[in-house]
Structure 1
Amino acid sequence: MAAESLYVIVSAQSAVRSLSQKEVLALYTGRARTLPDGEVATPLDQLRDSTTRADFYQMLTGMDIARINSYWARLHFTGQVQPPPAVGDDAAVIQRLRADPSAIGYVTREPNNAAVRVVLRLP
């Protein structure tokens, strides 16, 4: 079952208040490496085979997960850029964001946690 909404989140310590879908797309496809404020961004993925990851890329890019995996395989092969590291589920993403103010991730539920901030809601 596909998620109805996904939430792109950053650490509450980040200066970023909101991001456009285009900005998040650039970060998660390796086309951009910094947040709008110039800070280097560390995008985090959920588990490679998770439905959450598949839903996220479908909502963000309009592409299915097989095409996204193929895209990253090509980029990885050419040595241009690495795909975002997979950290696990929603709780793992929030935990990483608490420890790394430059990280950006996505979760299935709107977080009720003062340590993180929603910067984009998909779709």
Structure 2
Amino acid sequence: MLAWALFSSAQALAEQEPVYLVAHPGVGTEAISRDAVRAMFAMRQRHWPDGTSARVFVLTEGHPVHERFVKGRLDAFPHQLQLAWDRAVFSGTGQSPHRVGSQAEMHERVATTPGALGYLTREYLDERVQIIAIE
């Protein structure tokens, strides 16, 4: 019983851990509006405010960090975002973001892709990626 209580406490703490919006260090933006972030992740806005092309990376559907980011930072549900991507792809008017399988892969892709945008938990942050504030 004690093991379950410790596991439940650790799980609850992990679910409360913030998920940070991150970008390639060459992106010239330090803060961005929530509406702009939502538009970028919905693949409606394809450029950073300075005109640099944005390359959006997301974790796979069902990944707990993806769900926390979408719900907590974009104020949406993951299925709503997926519907927007599917609509754009099937109508021929857009594309879906690049999917990655883990936070380690997300970190590597954002760190090495100019204009990249993604999200990570604290343990994956370092000087190779830039945290972007959401206003």
The TM-score normalised by the length of structure 1 is 0.85
Q: Number of paired residues? A: 122
Superposed counterparts of 1:30-49, under 5 Å: 30-49=43-62
More relative contact order in 1 or in 2 (CA 8 Å, sep 6+)? 1
For structure 2, which runs of at least 5 residues remain unmatched after alignment? Answer: 1-11
Residue by residue over 1:23-80, the C-alpha shift from the partner in whole angstroms, topping out at 9 and shown as x without a partner, is: 2111111221000110000011012221211222212332222222222222221111
Structure 1 vs Structure 2: percent identity of aligned residues? 25
Q: Where in structure 1 do 4 or more consecutive aligned residues deviate above 6 Å?
A: none
The question of 1:27 aligning with 2:40 is answered yes
Measure the CA separation in 2 of the matches of 1:55 and 1:118.
17
User: Alpha-carbon deviation of 1:3?
Assistant: 4.2
Deviates more, 1:67-76 or 1:44-53: 67-76
Q: Which has the larger radius of gyration?
A: 2
| Distance of 1:121 and 1:17 partners within structure 2 | 9
What is the CA deviation profile of residues 93-118 of structure 1, one whole-angstrom value per residue up to 9, with x for unaligned ones?
11112211211110122654111110
SS in 2 for 1:92: helix
Matched, 1:89 2:102: yes
Q: Report which of the two has the higher share of helix.
A: 2
TM-align CA RMSD: 2.1
Residue in structure 1 matching 2:133, options 103, 120, 123: 120
Alpha carbons of 1:117 and 1:61: their partners in 2 closer, same or farther (altered >3 Å)? closer
Normalised to the residue count of structure 2, the TM-score between the two structures is 0.78
Is 1:76 aligned with 2:89? yes
* Unmatched tracts of structure 1, length 5 or more: none
Contact in 1 for aligned 2:34/2:74 (Cα 8 Å): no
